[in-house]
Chains A and B, each alone.
Chain A
């Protein structure tokens, strides 16, 4: 099945700095790449996703880039705030009904004031 690798496992930044989390995937047929945020004690929630027909997508302070040739995608958070502190998970799927959503192991982001 699909194997998703995520780096780094922990990331500490100062408020206002940018944070970048990177993921690689193994199956070239994967075409849907969502990112989920899980705050402490809460359930994961979708923050942004990208499909294989675009290379970049932006939503306010967050953006995701996709390089299909290299099979990697990244989450960029600009002007970080303490409330961005959470665990972030990337995922990949082949996007049709026969395949599940496979997650990376997560990145624990800490934004210090």
Chain B
């Protein structure tokens, strides 16, 4: 079946604008994660969904970042008033039940704030 799908693949935005990043997880996967990866850096945890609720949103760097998940499926990560330091690859992953099962990653959205 289809893997984790993210859109857009690339996004260039002007500083101060809002952006929305979308993640379509593998069908039937209840757990969904967002991570941020800056150039050559590690996987910075942002938020974790189990179904539609977010038991762990401790990684969101500021109140400009928010995320939601509807219908236990699609998730959107919204960044308001983007800053240059927000430039990174945003990766979404999903797993069947939770953090003790294999996480499948999407191809990422490369965000560039100019």
Interface residue ranges, A against B (CB under 8 Å): 1, 31-32, 34, 43-46, 49, 51, 89, 93-106
Q: Is the CB of A97 within 8 A of B45?
A: no
| Interchain CA distance A1-B106 in the complex, whole Å | 24
In angstroms, how far is the closest chain B Cβ from the Cβ of A29? 12
Interface of A is mostly: loop
| Interchain CA distance A89-B99 in the complex, whole Å | 15
Contacts of B43 in A (CB 8 A): 44, 89, 103, 106
Contacts of A31 in B (CB 8 A): 100
**Residue on A nearest B105 in the bound complex, by CB:** A43
Interface of B is mostly: loop
In angstroms, how far is the closest chain A Cβ from the Cβ of B65? 15
Known pairs A95-B100, A103-B35, A103-B45 / 16 extra A-B pairs, C-beta < 8 Å: A31-B100, A32-B99, A34-B102, A43-B91, A43-B105, A44-B91, A45-B105, A46-B102, A94-B99, A95-B98, A97-B30, A98-B50, A100-B45, A100-B56, A101-B45, A103-B43
Q: Is the CB of A95 within 8 A of B41?
A: no
Write 27 A-B pairs (CB below 8 A) sorted by A numbering: A34-B103, A43-B105, A43-B108, A44-B91, A44-B93, A44-B105, A45-B105, A49-B102, A93-B99, A94-B99, A95-B98, A95-B100, A97-B97, A98-B50, A98-B56, A99-B48, A99-B99, A100-B33, A100-B48, A100-B99, A101-B45, A101-B48, A101-B99, A103-B35, A105-B42, A106-B41, A106-B43
**Residue on A nearest B6 in the bound complex, by CB:** A43
Q: Which of B64-106 contact A (CB under 8 A)?
A: 91, 93, 95, 97-100, 102-103, 105-106
Contacts of B35 in A (CB 8 A): 103
Q: Which 4 A-B pairs have the closest CB atoms?
A: A95-B100, A93-B99, A100-B48, A105-B42
In angstroms, how far is the closest chain A Cβ from the Cβ of B90? 12
Q: Is the CB of B42 within 8 A of A104?
A: yes
| Interchain CA distance A84-B65 in the complex, whole Å | 36
Q: Is the CB of B42 within 8 A of A99?
A: no
| Interchain CA distance A75-B93 in the complex, whole Å | 22
| Interchain CA distance A51-B105 in the complex, whole Å | 21
